[in-house]
């Protein structure tokens, strides 16, 4: 592997590590304490995350929205710290619906949104009811500076995006290399499998399997923090496990066949099948099934909410760094296999 590629690889990984652990989260609305609203005065707390409520107490505003058709200004009773404010809001007897939303503004954080299920009692609901008495200014501008996009469910675990997703990019890149060399193994004009191409196919698949394991581990840890379980019945998770077992079977098949030519031919055919199955299980089928992963069943992947323009400046170098690292390991694995084959040939010559 070229020295400059190694330098780029190391630089990208150091850059990824620094930015993924050092940079803060962008401010966000975490929760409200309101359980149920009634006509009249309602008091509750608004909790932010990475927010600046105390520092920007003078510019802070809190609003309660009703079905996006009415906005009610809340009175700020007290600000206890940078993330907690006690507020009260007066609600009339008649509302358009019981779909409540919560907004908090200040000059540093911009607009923080909380969508929480809040009960209601004593209201009369009439569709189209509006409220024009609240004069407000919603600061829609984004938080200034770099920050991980705030997501209420995953919060700090979004940092794993820089590690978990590049693992799968790297695995795919290596399995594509293995697939190509398996095709070349079978395309020898003499009809005899090319053992050099077979060695390259095995080396890249073996390295890709390592990154598959790392992807499963980082994914399982992420699932524990965001979905509450180490493993869920998600089509992409299940597909990834099947892919892992298929490639493990590929190496079991290789090690069970002592004849080099026969092993190369059978392994190449199986590897082509394994690659096609991987594409179907990880790229095709999950998009037609309900799943928790982004991009599945209408759930957008890499939208501005989970991969904004600032975050891309870290994510893309992370992908490049891990792909180069995978290629680096693949070349080392190939050299090890060459030495093992030479040692096996020398041992065979000594016996004969």
pLDDT (tens digit per residue) in 211-257: 999 999 999 988 888 888 888 887 888 889 999 999 999 999 988 88
- pLDDT < 50 positions in the chain: 297-300, 305
Using alpha carbons, select from 101, 88, 268, 122 the residue that is nearest to residue 183.
268
Question: What are the helix (H) ranges across the chain?
Answer: 3-22, 161-186, 195-226, 235-255, 260-279, 309-351
CA gyration radius for the chain?
A: 28
Residues 247/208, Cβ–Cβ less than 8 Å:
yes
Contact 93, 29 (CB under 8 A): no
Cβ neighbours of residue 104 closer than 8 Å, sequence gap 6 or more: 29, 46, 48, 51, 53, 60, 61, 62, 63, 85, 111, 112, 114
122 Rama class: left (phi>0) / alpha (psi -120 to 50) / beta: left
Q: pLDDT digit string (tens) for 255-266?
A: 888 888 888 899
pLDDT value at residue 229: 83
Q: Exposed e or buried b for every residue in 114-144, given b needs 16+ CB within 10 A?
A: bebebebeebeeeeebebeeeeeeebeebbe
DSSP 119: E
The Cα-based distances of 184 to 77, 83, 187, 268, 338 in angstroms read 73, 60, 5, 9, 18
Q: Tokens for 150?
A: 């705030």
Q: What are phi and psi of 2, to 5 degrees?
A: -60, 140
Q: Walk me through the domains of the chain, giving residue ranges and CATH numbers.
A: 28-125 (2.60.40.10), 155-351 (no CATH)
Among residues 165, 155, 148, the alpha carbon closest in space to that of 293 is found at 165
Residue 212 · residue 169 · CB < 8 Å: no
């Amino acid at each position: 592997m070229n020295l400059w590629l190694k330098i780029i690889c190391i630089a990208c990984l150091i850059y990824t590590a620094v930015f993924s652990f050092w940079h803060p989260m962008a401010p966000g609305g975490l929760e409200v304490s309101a359980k149920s609203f009634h006509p009249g005065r309602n008091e509750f707390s608004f909790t932010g995350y990475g927010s600046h409520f105390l520092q920007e107490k003078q510019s802070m505003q809190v609003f309660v929205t009703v079905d996006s058709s009415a906005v009610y200004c809340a009175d700020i009773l007290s600000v206890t710290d940078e993330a907690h404010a006690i507020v009260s809001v007066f609600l009339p007897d008649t509302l358009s619906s019981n779909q409540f939303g919560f907004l908090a503004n200040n000059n540093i954080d911009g607009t923080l949104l909380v969508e929480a299920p809040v009960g209601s009692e004593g209201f009369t609901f009439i569709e189209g009811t509006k409220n024009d008495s609240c004069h407000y200014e919603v600061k829609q501008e984004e938080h200034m500076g770099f920050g991980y996009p705030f997501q209420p469910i995953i919060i700090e675990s979004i940092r794993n995006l820089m590690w978990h997703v590049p693992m799968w990019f790297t695995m795919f890149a290596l399995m594509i290399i293995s697939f190509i060399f398996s095709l070349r193994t079978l395309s020898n004009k003499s009809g005899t499998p090319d053992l050099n191409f077979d060695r390259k196919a095995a080396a890249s698949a073996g390295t890709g399997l390592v990154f598959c394991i790392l992807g499963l581990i980082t994914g399982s840890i992420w699932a524990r923090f965001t979905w509450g379980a180490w493993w869920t019945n998600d089509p992409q998770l299940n597909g990834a496990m099947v892919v892992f077992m298929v490639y493990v079977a590929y190496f079991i098949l290789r090690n069970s066949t002592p004849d080099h030519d026969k092993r190369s031919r059978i392994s190449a055919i199986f590897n082509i099948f394994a690659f096609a199955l991987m594409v179907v299980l990880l790229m095709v089928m999950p998009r037609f099934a309900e799943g928790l992963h982004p991009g599945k069943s209408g759930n957008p992947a890499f939208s501005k909410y989970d991969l904004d323009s600032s975050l891309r400046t870290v994510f893309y170098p992370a992908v490049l760094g891990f792909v180069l690292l995978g290629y680096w390991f693949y070349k080392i694995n190939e050299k090890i296999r060459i030495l093992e084959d030479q040692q096996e040939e020398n041992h065979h010559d000594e016996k004969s």
